Structure 1
Amino acid sequence: MASETSVRKRLAIVLLVVVLLGAVPTGVVAQSESTVGGTAVVAEDETIDELEAVAGTVVVEGTVTGDVSAAGGDVRIAETGEVGGSLEGAAGSVTIDGTVDGDVGVGAGNVEVGEDATVGGEFTVGAGNAVIDGVLEGDAAIGAETITLGSDAEIAGDLRYDGDLQGNTDAVAGSITEDSTLGVDIAPTLQPLASWLASVYVLALNLLLGAALLALFPRFSDGVADRVSTDPVRTGLVGLGVLVGVPILLVAVAITIVGIPFSIVGGFAFAFVVWIGIVYGRFAVAAWLLSYADLENRWLALVVGLIGGAVLSQVPYLGGLVDFLVLLLGLGALAWGLYARRRTARTREPERRDRIGPDEPASD
């Protein structure tokens, strides 16, 4: 029995390491890189041949001499970023503030070309909103609900568009043609792909983190679920206090020069705690609801809670509100449980010392 418990804990630790590696920024250091991770970054002082990435965030701050193919929540070519080839992407948002020498073909919720950006080839975009405020040296085909040409925009070739064209149309040196097929051909194909890829990736990470928490801390996890079901109002208020109070404390610590490093580390630690709070919140709410059907299984509650939460979060307005309330419950139950555990440890310490005796060394 003890050996089985040890094996489960080791597997849980491995899962936790996988989750952390998937969530932290991943530096791109190879000459030709294919990356799957939380954040894929080509640093400012790095040069690689090509980049293929599926991640929550893909950032090019350095140089990619060839093509970039990216899918994720956010794809960015920074002001210092240079792409010698083409950029192809499907993402929640695509931002180009640097240079792309080749073609750009992307589908996203929002696409923005900054005022210092330059695109050398053809620019083909399907998006919810598109903002062009940089230089497009070739032809452009944009299908979007709203297309805004900024005061610094320059389009050297022709512009074909579908949607509401606004702003500085004098920026187009060639012809401007409305083409109703663009919104059909581009946006529906690429934009949903980006959204689903990001959602599936986040769900997988949440499942791994939740599995690690349940395996490593089964009794504590059950306590989290019990607190949510027995006293949801007080638990939510505790979560709200933590969510508001900890950032204020970190800002206060950062005021002093000595406290800046502690504040930065504390910010990352708090972000991780909030993530745990989201996972615990969905798990606890699902366990609470399943108890009404006499289904008391923590693993079933984890799967139902995370999948149900992922689906519900896609519902406009309602999904965001429910996510916030679930976060408060999870964060409050987590904080409450940690406080109770610490208070219990302090209560037991004098008793433990009395048993050991003043002259006897304490053993683990």
Structure 2
Amino acid sequence: MVSTSNERFGGPAVFVIVGLLCLSITPGVVGAQEQLTGGSVVIGPEETHKGDLEATAGDVRIEGTVDGDLTATGGTVTITGDVTGDVTATAGSVIIEGTVAGDLTATGGDVRVRESAAVDGMVRTTGGAVTVDGTVEDDTRLDGDTVRVGPTAAIGGDLTYSADEATISGDAEITGTVTETDRDELGMGPFSGASLPDVPDAVVTPLFGLYLFCANFALGAVLLVAAPRFSARVSEQGTDRPLLSGGVGLLTLLAMPFALGALFLSIIGIPLAFFATYGFVFVLWIGLVYGAFALGTWGLSAFDRGHRWSGLALGLAIVSLANALPYVGFLLVLITLFGLGAFGRALYDWRLDRGDDDAQRPPPYPALEAADE
């Protein structure tokens, strides 16, 4: 049985955790805006991302404009739009078809600078197969198992390359000198002599799902350890009346933009609005984790199991699976709304109950507690 001291600590602990982590992600508002993750990250054709962008996903596509530097990691990275700064891309396949105003550094199993591409700075690539058919205004350094510079390529500086098999078209426009060298001499780092495998999306997606599972489980572990009784209360609120919890979560999600907009209307409220915006993003993450926790414990209850850690693991496994599978991403939204509503209802109940005498308060959720003993 959990002691009453833990019970008193449970509710406030959630507020403390939320507050500390919100502060940790808001030392600079720009920093929070730069990071995008998911099964896929897409900047649409009519979209402009202001500032530097860090994207980590199974599929990263830049079809619009990134007004700043781009750092992209994924199964595939494709740039058909414009990047006004430098590009650093690491992926199984890196394809450049748009415009890069700065330098391009690309590492991948297959790296292609296609005919429509224009890079105003230097190009530096390391990969299994490297192809350049576009325009590069500065020096170009290519390292790969195979290197090909096509007839439509235009290089405004020197070309330095290293490959087991290289094809440099005589029709390519190369202003500077052309030098073939060993890979170690290109200064690509201690692992430059080893070619990178062509990593298929089928491998990258499960790895990214594992990363999401570990990140979500870490947050869930903090919540369950710091506030065990409150977390159990969230689970019971979700499983007891799931439709009500989902409705509360939806209303909260719909009401938040109006509340933030009201803060932005006043000078004093603008700083608070920024903190509230990123705080709410973190609360949505908590909602996803708590929703998975409630879903997992409900699933185990069908087999007369009530272990909270097993419930958390099962729920987050479902979340990772939904993220990896096509056409079922809406399940993540439903789980988040479900968890957000249960979280809000548990906070409301805790606020009503916190003034009650501990002796009159029955121990909540004995099934979970008994299973953990």
Q: Which range, TM-score by smaller chain?
A: 0.5 to 0.7
Aligned to 2:299: 289
Give runs of aligned pairs for residues 294-305 of structure 1, distance below 5 A. 294-305=304-315
CA contact (8 A) 1:88 1:105 kept: yes
**2:343 corresponds to which letter in structure 1?**
L
Query: How far off its partner does 1:119 sit?
Result: 3.8
**Equivalent-residue separation in structure 1 for 2:124 and 2:282 (angstroms):** 44
CA contact (8 A) 1:89 1:105 kept: yes
**Equivalent-residue separation in structure 1 for 2:240 and 2:333 (angstroms):** 19
Alpha-carbon deviations, 1:42-95, whole Å to 9, x = none?
xxxxxxxxxxxxxxx9xxx99xxxxxxx9944799x86659xxxx995566577
1:340 is aligned to 2:367: no
Give runs of aligned pairs for residues 141-160 of structure 1, distance below 5 A. 154-155=135-136
Query: Paired residue for 1:98, among 85, 100, 113?
Result: 85
Aligned to 1:276: 286
Give runs of aligned pairs for residues 129-168 of structure 1, distance below 5 A. 132-135=117-120, 154-155=135-136
CA contact (8 A) 1:133 1:154 kept: yes
Query: How far off its partner does 1:257 sit?
Result: 1.5
Aligned to 1:107: 91
CA contact (8 A) 2:128 2:198 kept: no
**Equivalent-residue separation in structure 2 for 1:72 and 1:226 (angstroms):** 34
CA contact (8 A) 1:72 1:197 kept: no
Alpha-carbon deviations, 1:113-168, whole Å to 9, x = none?
76352447888674899884534766999999xx9x9xxx73478x9xxxxxxxxx
CA contact (8 A) 1:97 1:114 kept: no
**Equivalent-residue separation in structure 1 for 2:279 and 2:55 (angstroms):** 27
Aligned to 1:360: none
Residues 203/129 of structure 1: CA separation in 2 closer, same or farther (3 Å cut): farther
Residues 72/105 of structure 1: CA separation in 2 closer, same or farther (3 Å cut): closer
* Paired residues, number: 275
**2:119 corresponds to which letter in structure 1?**
G
Aligned to 1:308: 318
Q: Secondary structure at the match of 1:257?
A: coil
Aligned to 1:240: 250
Query: How far off its partner does 1:344 sit?
Result: 3.5
Which deviates the most, 267-276 or 336-345?
A: 336-345
Query: How far off its partner does 1:315 sit?
Result: 0.5
**1:326 corresponds to which letter in structure 2?**
I
Q: Secondary structure at the match of 1:313?
A: helix
Give runs of aligned pairs for residues 35-50 of structure 1, distance below 5 A. none
**Equivalent-residue separation in structure 1 for 2:112 and 2:297 (angstroms):** 37
Give runs of aligned pairs for residues 22-101 of structure 1, distance below 5 A. 24=25, 72-73=56-57, 90=74, 93=77, 97-99=84-86
**2:101 corresponds to which letter in structure 1?**
A
**1:335 corresponds to which letter in structure 2?**
G
Q: Which has the higher contact order (CA 8 A, sep 6+)?
A: 2
Gaps of 5+ in 2: 36-40, 42-50, 143-149, 155-167, 173-194, 358-373
**Equivalent-residue separation in structure 2 for 1:91 and 1:193 (angstroms):** 8
Query: How far off its partner does 1:342 sit?
Result: 2.1
Aligned to 1:224: 234
**1:306 corresponds to which letter in structure 2?**
L
Q: Secondary structure at the match of 2:90?
A: strand
Query: How far off its partner does 1:233 sit?
Result: 1.2
Aligned to 2:177: none
CA contact (8 A) 1:240 1:328 kept: yes
Gaps of 5+ in 1: 28-37, 42-56, 63-69, 160-168, 178-184, 350-364
**1:315 corresponds to which letter in structure 2?**
L
**Equivalent-residue separation in structure 2 for 1:281 and 1:292 (angstroms):** 17
Aligned to 1:357: none
**Equivalent-residue separation in structure 1 for 2:307 and 2:34 (angstroms):** 37
Alpha-carbon deviations, 1:293-338, whole Å to 9, x = none?
10111111011111232123200111x1111111110001011111
Residues 342/124 of structure 1: CA separation in 2 closer, same or farther (3 Å cut): closer
Residues 246/81 of structure 1: CA separation in 2 closer, same or farther (3 Å cut): closer
**Equivalent-residue separation in structure 1 for 2:258 and 2:283 (angstroms):** 16
Alpha-carbon deviations, 1:211-258, whole Å to 9, x = none?
121122222222222222221111111100111111221122112221
**Equivalent-residue separation in structure 1 for 2:107 and 2:232 (angstroms):** 53
**Equivalent-residue separation in structure 1 for 2:347 and 2:200 (angstroms):** 44
Residues 233/187 of structure 1: CA separation in 2 closer, same or farther (3 Å cut): farther
Aligned to 1:267: 277
Residues 321/291 of structure 1: CA separation in 2 closer, same or farther (3 Å cut): same
